[in-house]
Structure 1
Amino acid sequence: MSQETLSDFVEATATKFGIPGVCAGVWADGTEIYAGHGVTSIDNPLPVDEQTLFLLGSVTKTFTATALMRLVAEGGVELEAPVHRYVPEAPVSAEITVAHLLNHTAGLGWGVITDTGEGDDAVARYVAKMAEVEMIAPVGARASYSQAGYNLIGHVIEKVTGQPYDQAVASLVLEPAGLSNTFFSHNDVMTRRFAVGHDKGEDGTLSISRPWRHWRGDHPGGGIASSASDLLSWARFHLGDGAGVLPADVLHRMKQPTAELRASNLGDAIGLCWFLRGVDGVRTVGHGGSSNGQFAELLLVPERNFAVVVMSNAGPDGIPCNQAVVRWALQHYLGVTDADPEPAPYDAARAQEVVGRYENEVMTLTVTADGAGLTLEVLIKPEIRENSEVELPADHAPFPFGLLPGGTDEYVITDGAFTGQRGFFSRDETGVITGVDLAGRPFARTV
């Protein structure tokens, strides 16, 4: 496929979703292809290309995990060791190992919404506040996505190397992998062309997302900025043999399943950070990320030596925009079709079982039925907004969803920014619905 074909699809998709700037990169048949569309900012527009820096959000976790695995390969860290061996002051369960943090099975809740400053002690100060993070499952019992867990990994890296997290990752991973356009520091980013996030108002009008990036204490879980060219180089590194950073067997180990995921569009299983999913007969390895009005997707198909990366700069539709480009690339370069499951016809009795209110430490989730369909609304708790030290993103409009056939209590969102998002309802031993999982995060039923 030509660059023109990719460019045409990226332009059409960005236009459809109203995204100011999008950049995609594809590695196929031994060739890199890029397509940039639009502008970095509606207020201060510059053209987007493969060198434009975007915030990667949680794709940062793949860099954090790789840095940690280098320390494992060098004998500085043991995966099965308790995290207290490296961070004895961490206010977390003594049962949690480094491996539990890597594959999100530590039982930790999402995290702490707090600004711990821009000093070299920012990650350490974040970890000191982790007593506020709820345990939402027994250690090792299930995968539950945790930003706090990866920020704690960042502090393990600091303790073992004696360097601030950002500097340690640069020396362990970025520099030896040849990623010269990937940065954490504002000072590095602001002297180059970079994208800003945008938010869509109720009337569809876009405005600049502020702050541009969240606090330094969150860097291990989501603070890196990179370009499409560097992110595709990162993808190629993970398709390769780890030269200069990791032994090939350790790199390969990161992509092996360690815990199953149920009814998750993230994947069927999780490796050491990577989400693993079978798509139309091929195995994919990937990770997505979101920050304040910016979104990124990275997907590998190892058996076909293929990778696709996409970055966009407006919410909430940056997510479906990126996913549409990834799916198009899979279809047009590999002939692989990634399709959402079809929900079962509406069943009033099944619907009434799941109607109710659910919550976790940060959000509430309300399920309603109108006699023809089901709707799911997720809101950040008012007290979280009131006590937050930074402006939090706006809540999404309610999502229509449908239960999947077969009586599995699994569901799929059928419209809106999270179209295709899957999850499941859980029951107690008597068969009563007691909770719901969304995006790998559990909510307990309260009503």
Structure 2
Amino acid sequence: MRHLLLNWITIMTLGTTAQAAPLSATDNEILEILTTRIDEQKQSVGIVVGIIDAAGQRVVAHGRLEKDDPRPLDGNTVFEIGSVTKVFTALALADMAERGGVQLDTPVSQLLPESVVLRQAADGKPITLEHLAMHMSGLPRLPDNLMPADDNDPYADYGVAKLYAFLSSHQPTRQPGGEHAYSNLGYGLLGHVLALQSGQSYEALVRERIAIPLGMADTAITARPEWEGRRATGHDAGLEPTSDWDLGALPGAGALRSTTNDLLTFLQAAMGKKPSSLAPAFATMIATRKPLGDGSEEQALGWVISGSGERQIVWHNGGTGGYRSFVGFRPSTGVGVVVLSNTSTEVGVDDIGVHLLDRERSLAPAPVQRVAIAADPATYDAYVGTYRLAPGFDLTVFRDGNRLFAQATGQGPIEIFAEAEHRFFARSVDAQMTFEVPAGARAASLTLHQNGQDSPAARVGD
């Protein structure tokens, strides 16, 4: 799985167990998973799980509201939900299309001010709303003029003027509708133009069309007075409190806050268990899909669909600087799952969510404890440079005195430590890098090792 909001490339591989398991876990089984993840693996401060099954819905929680706050979490605890927001953005699009406000094939340029020139690729095809919602717009993952003033809140100063400046200057190299490439920029732009079309802010659009009709009182962007005392504090991978994120001009990519109970209500409607006026829009989301890669996954409007037949699951995950989230359901069993964590760690909540939907899927192992070796800082110069992991998504390695850092596009720097010759690891995320260094020269490339995947990246600059 690879859809965390604005984080290092994260792909989760899930193994299988030898025996089939019951369709739905008991509360004690879920609590044991959370206790292991929080108390033993130290991969979160607090996690809340919500389950929908044949018996109804229930919530299991473990951990704290904040590192030094002993108050427990529950189904009404408010979290940032990161890229799970994209499912709401896609639902707003599907609902507007159902009502005739826009169409899936409406060119994005028609909804932008005339002063914004959205350039086209060589084939001349316009980018449509569907292209944005399916991650097939050809736009990069992030805009190249995203230069955070505060790495702990990287989007706060990315306003509409910067968004329009990027769109007007960017010359696409990929044709829309061709290659699938996950784009936070694309979803941020989708939320922006839908808000323009509706004459409302993005938050007001989601509240009016989704949250209020479904009875989701705690789903919003702006802090609400009634959240006092039940709003979780986000934590970084070192389990230290960190700031929440402001998504600036791109709220449709990941700005929403919500609770487990609200998201269970959303899932009830998405699964057809709760009657709502949004039923046609939910159906459009699932019906509009394209295969990804080897065909084991499909991209729908907002949702990702994995597997086939009885083991098919519909899901999305998310992550910000201090939170992780997972929402999904399995049509064949009628089981739905919400998992929210107030900590941003690599072994987060995705595997928990998938395991609870498909008990034959195993949980992620505990992170490997790595040991740094002594290294001559003078050797770091060979690694300094910019390496391209994906279009619009680079990893920049730089030296600060006797320390070496890596910084992904749109994210803060992370210190890396030597564990072998030409191999480094990060302590704040479960990621390692191996550099390809010709004798007497600077590194020509690196390979990012993360969650069982090896992602090569050629040097593209000094």
Normalised TM-score (structure 2):
0.70
CA distance in structure 1 between the partners assigned to 2:194 and 2:147 by the alignment: 21
Q: CA 1:134–1:222 in 2, change beyond 3 Å: closer, same or farther?
A: farther
How big is the shift at 1:254? 0.9
Q: CA 1:24–1:81 in 2, change beyond 3 Å: closer, same or farther?
A: same
Q: Determine the structure 1 residue equivalent to 2:190.
A: 153
1:234 aligns with 2:266: yes
1:47 aligns with 2:68: no
Q: Determine the structure 2 residue equivalent to 1:172.
A: 209
Q: CA 1:257–1:380 in 2, change beyond 3 Å: closer, same or farther?
A: farther
1:128 aligns with 2:164: yes
Structure 1 counterpart of 2:292, from 261, 265, 287: 261
How big is the shift at 1:190? 5.0
CA distance in structure 2 between the partners assigned to 1:115 and 1:365 by the alignment: 15
Structure 1 counterpart of 2:39, from 15, 20, 34: 15
Q: Determine the structure 1 residue equivalent to 2:88.
A: 63
Q: CA 1:307–1:251 in 2, change beyond 3 Å: closer, same or farther?
A: same
Corresponding letter in the other structure for 2:241 = I
CA distance in structure 2 between the partners assigned to 1:397 and 1:338 by the alignment: 19
Q: Determine the structure 2 residue equivalent to 1:162.
A: 199
Deviations 1:178-212 (A, max 9, x none): 111212103457535111211234xxxx31112x1
1:302 aligns with 2:326: no
Corresponding letter in the other structure for 1:328 = H
CA distance in structure 2 between the partners assigned to 1:281 and 1:445 by the alignment: 44
How big is the shift at 1:69? 1.1
CA distance in structure 2 between the partners assigned to 1:310 and 1:141 by the alignment: 33
Deviations 1:351-408 (A, max 9, x none): xxxxx95345342289xxxxxxxxxx9942599769xxxxxx997454389xxxxxxx
Deviations 1:125-167 (A, max 9, x none): 4532433667462222111111111111112222221111111
Q: Determine the structure 1 residue equivalent to 2:400.
A: none
CA distance in structure 2 between the partners assigned to 1:126 and 1:223 by the alignment: 18
- Aligned ranges for residues 75-86 of structure 1 at < 5 Å? 75-86=100-111
CA distance in structure 2 between the partners assigned to 1:221 and 1:278 by the alignment: 25
1:364 aligns with 2:399: no
Corresponding letter in the other structure for 2:253 = G
CA distance in structure 2 between the partners assigned to 1:125 and 1:328 by the alignment: 43
| Contact 2:317/2:350, CA 8 A, preserved across alignment | no
CA distance in structure 2 between the partners assigned to 1:127 and 1:241 by the alignment: 39
Q: CA 1:383–1:282 in 2, change beyond 3 Å: closer, same or farther?
A: closer
Q: Determine the structure 2 residue equivalent to 1:102.
A: 133
Q: CA 1:222–1:133 in 2, change beyond 3 Å: closer, same or farther?
A: farther
| Contact 1:296/1:312, CA 8 A, preserved across alignment | yes
Corresponding letter in the other structure for 1:323 = D
Structure 2: gaps of 5 or more residues:
1-24, 121-125, 365-385, 398-403, 414-425, 435-446
Q: Determine the structure 2 residue equivalent to 1:285.
A: 314
CA distance in structure 1 between the partners assigned to 2:188 and 2:278 by the alignment: 22
Aligned residue pairs: how many?
369
Q: Determine the structure 1 residue equivalent to 2:52.
A: 27
How big is the shift at 1:260? 2.4
Secondary structure of the structure 2 residue equivalent to 1:200: coil
What is the RMSD of the two structures over their aligned residues, measured on CA atoms? 3.6
Structure 1: gaps of 5 or more residues:
341-355, 367-376, 387-392, 402-411, 425-435, 437-442
**Stretch deviating more after TM superposition (190-199 or 157-166):** 190-199
Q: CA 1:69–1:2 in 2, change beyond 3 Å: closer, same or farther?
A: same
Q: CA 1:242–1:229 in 2, change beyond 3 Å: closer, same or farther?
A: closer
- Aligned ranges for residues 426-441 of structure 1 at < 5 Å? none
How big is the shift at 1:44? 3.6
Q: CA 1:271–1:190 in 2, change beyond 3 Å: closer, same or farther?
A: same
CA distance in structure 1 between the partners assigned to 2:249 and 2:277 by the alignment: 25
CA distance in structure 2 between the partners assigned to 1:187 and 1:115 by the alignment: 27
- Aligned ranges for residues 330-345 of structure 1 at < 5 Å? 330-332=357-359, 336-337=360-361
CA distance in structure 2 between the partners assigned to 1:114 and 1:81 by the alignment: 31
CA distance in structure 2 between the partners assigned to 1:136 and 1:379 by the alignment: 27
| Contact 1:280/1:338, CA 8 A, preserved across alignment | no
CA distance in structure 2 between the partners assigned to 1:52 and 1:383 by the alignment: 28
| Contact 1:61/1:150, CA 8 A, preserved across alignment | yes
How big is the shift at 1:83? 0.8
How big is the shift at 1:122? 8.1
Q: Determine the structure 2 residue equivalent to 1:223.
A: 255
**Stretch deviating more after TM superposition (80-89 or 134-143):** 134-143
| Contact 1:59/1:288, CA 8 A, preserved across alignment | yes
| Contact 2:108/2:128, CA 8 A, preserved across alignment | yes
Identity score, percent: 23
Bigger RCO of structures 1 and 2 (CA < 8 A, at least 6 apart):
2
Secondary structure of the structure 1 residue equivalent to 2:349: helix
Structure 1 counterpart of 2:352, from 311, 325, 328: 325
CA distance in structure 1 between the partners assigned to 2:97 and 2:172 by the alignment: 26
Q: CA 1:98–1:378 in 2, change beyond 3 Å: closer, same or farther?
A: farther
Corresponding letter in the other structure for 1:380 = Q
Secondary structure of the structure 1 residue equivalent to 2:213: coil
Q: Determine the structure 1 residue equivalent to 2:240.
A: 207
Larger % of helix: which? 1
Q: Determine the structure 1 residue equivalent to 2:343.
A: 314
Normalised TM-score (structure 1):
0.72
